[in-house]
């Protein structure tokens, strides 16, 4: 049993235990050699005790916990892009009328729509809104896009990791209309994936360093300067394998398991993997303070 499992078990009898444990123990255990991989190491490790229940459990079961977890991620992303659009250090690259600014404004609008929908679905059960400090994220345009890739790729894996915990029959009334929350979650998930692909495309541009080796999809768990934990295994690894996983659908290796020889890059890029909420939150808290 690893540290995350121990904390989860303790929180069943003591919901405040996470507050009294050093945040560094859980966050750094999840992140491994994150600091060696990119300049994000200068970003602050978050403190505080927001979302105790969501952070302490590897598997969320209460629907409101799942929705508040999604709300936290959407609020983080909205705040990230909103702050970026007013950051003086990014003004030269996100100029009025430019394609780059238009893309970021559009992504911000999407994230705000997601926030508002989740808040409406939760009603009075919506968690209090935190404030976010992204540290050095806006120091340069390439750094900003590296953070953006990390957040978007993490969000895609996060939604996939919780899809099974939303009942198919959950149909609350939001704004006077009955909606199916699983359908909505999948709709948000696909949009987040498009955000991730577009941010990766932006990183290929000259202003971001002409990193033409970065693809719109994930290949072999390559982080491209983002935290390696974003693309690594979750907990438990059997349920949340790393993005370089080659086993799918009961076939131990798709390199040759379908009667045709594929490369590991082909296989890994063809399938995305889910990520548990404990690992996701640890990643977020290592790139932002909230």
Q: What is the pTM of this model?
A: 0.80
pLDDT tens-digit readout, 214-231: 999 999 999 999 999 999
Supply 26's token pair. Answer: 């859980």
Domain count, the chain: 1
Instruction: Calculate the dihedral angle through the C-alpha atoms of 120, 283, 239, 163, rounding to the nearest 10 degrees.
Output: 10
Residue 251: which domain range? 3-287
How do residues 240-288 score in pLDDT, each as one tens digit?
A: 999 999 999 999 999 999 888 999 999 999 999 999 999 999 999 999 9
Q: Who wins on pLDDT, 16 or 120?
A: 120
DSSP state of 168: T
CB neighbour class for 225 (10 Å; exposed up to 12, middle 13-18, buried from 19): buried
């Amino acid at each position: 049993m690893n540290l995350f499992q121990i904390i989860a078990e303790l929180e069943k009898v003591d919901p405040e235990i996470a507050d009294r444990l050093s945040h560094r123990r859980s966050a750094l255990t999840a992140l491994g050699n994150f600091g060696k991989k990119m300049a994000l190491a200068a970003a602050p490790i978050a403190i505080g005790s927001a979302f105790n229940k969501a952070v302490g459990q590897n598997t969320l079961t209460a629907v409101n916990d799942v929705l508040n977890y999604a709300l936290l991620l959407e609020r983080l992303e909205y705040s990230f892009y909103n702050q970026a659009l007013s950051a003086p250090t990014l003004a030269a690259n996100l100029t009025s009328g430019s394609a780059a600014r238009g893309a970021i404004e559009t992504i911000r609008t999407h994230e705000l729509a997601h926030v508002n929908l989740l808040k409406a679905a939760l009603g009075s059960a919506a968690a209090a809104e935190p404030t976010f400090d992204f540290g050095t994220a806006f120091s340069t345009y390439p750094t900003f896009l590296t953070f953006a890739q990390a957040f978007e790729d993490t969000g895609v894996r996060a939604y996939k990791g919780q899809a099974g915990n939303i009942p198919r029959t959950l149909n609350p009334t939001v704004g006077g209309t009955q909606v199916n929350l699983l359908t909505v979650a999948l709709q948000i998930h696909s949009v987040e994936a498009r955000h991730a692909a577009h941010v990766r495309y932006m990183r290929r541009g000259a202003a971001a360093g002409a990193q033409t080796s970065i693809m719109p999809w994930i290949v072999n768990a390559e982080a491209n300067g983002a935290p390696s934990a974003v693309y690594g295994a979750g907990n438990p690894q059997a349920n949340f394998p790393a993005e370089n996983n080659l086993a799918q659908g009961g076939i131990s290796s798709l390199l040759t398991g379908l009667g045709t020889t594929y490369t590991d890059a082909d296989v890994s890029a063809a399938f995305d993997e889910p990520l548990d909420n404990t690992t996701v939150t640890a990643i977020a808290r290592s790139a932002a303070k909230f």
